[in-house]
């Protein structure tokens, strides 16, 4: 294994430990990883609230606990954009019955054909 491949493997182990509750890689303790994972999860929740304030407003005090539950069950992947993650959270809430399905607009703007 080349140095670059070894580094990529170590980075993957660290990401699994931080984002998907994987085992701690050599040189890291569970306590240190938990603190970092909590900080990353909190940042993710803030980003979701910023991108989808409608969801945060609709849920009120339930937003943070539900967002934590979602984040724990749905770790972000490398190819997932923040907006897609926020929208997926909304879909997850609707599927669970936490939010009502949005109503469709009955009008059409004149520039849409």
**Residue 41 belongs to some domain of the structure:** yes
**Residue 9 belongs to some domain of the structure:** yes
Count of domains forming the chain = 1
**Residue 86 belongs to some domain of the structure:** yes
**Residue 34 belongs to some domain of the structure:** yes
Distances from the Cα of 51 to the Cα of 24, 44, 78, 84, 110, angstroms: 31, 11, 19, 10, 27
**Residue 75 belongs to some domain of the structure:** yes
Asked whether the predicted pLDDT for residue 56 surpasses 90, the reply is: yes
**Residue 53 belongs to some domain of the structure:** yes
**84: containing domain:** 3-96
* Tens digit of each residue's pLDDT (9 = 90 or more) over 100-109: 988 776 666 6
Handedness of CA 37, 42, 44, 45 (dihedral sign): positive
**Residue 48 belongs to some domain of the structure:** yes
Mean pLDDT across the stretch 6-29?
87
Residue 107 main-chain phi, psi, to 5 deg: -105, 165
**Residue 42 belongs to some domain of the structure:** yes
């Amino acid at each position: 294994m080349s140095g670059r491949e070894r580094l990529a493997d170590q980075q993957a182990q660290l990401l699994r430990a931080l984002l998907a509750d994987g085992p701690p890689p050599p040189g890291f303790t569970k306590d240190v990883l938990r603190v970092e994972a909590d900080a990353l999860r909190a940042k993710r929740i803030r980003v979701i609230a910023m991108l989808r304030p409608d969801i945060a407003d609709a849920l009120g005090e339930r937003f943070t606990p539900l967002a934590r539950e979602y984040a724990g069950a749905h770790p972000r992947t490398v190819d997932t954009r923040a907006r897609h993650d926020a929208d997926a959270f909304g879909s997850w809430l609707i599927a669970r019955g936490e939010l009502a399905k949005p109503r469709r607009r009955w009008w059409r703007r004149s520039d849409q054909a």
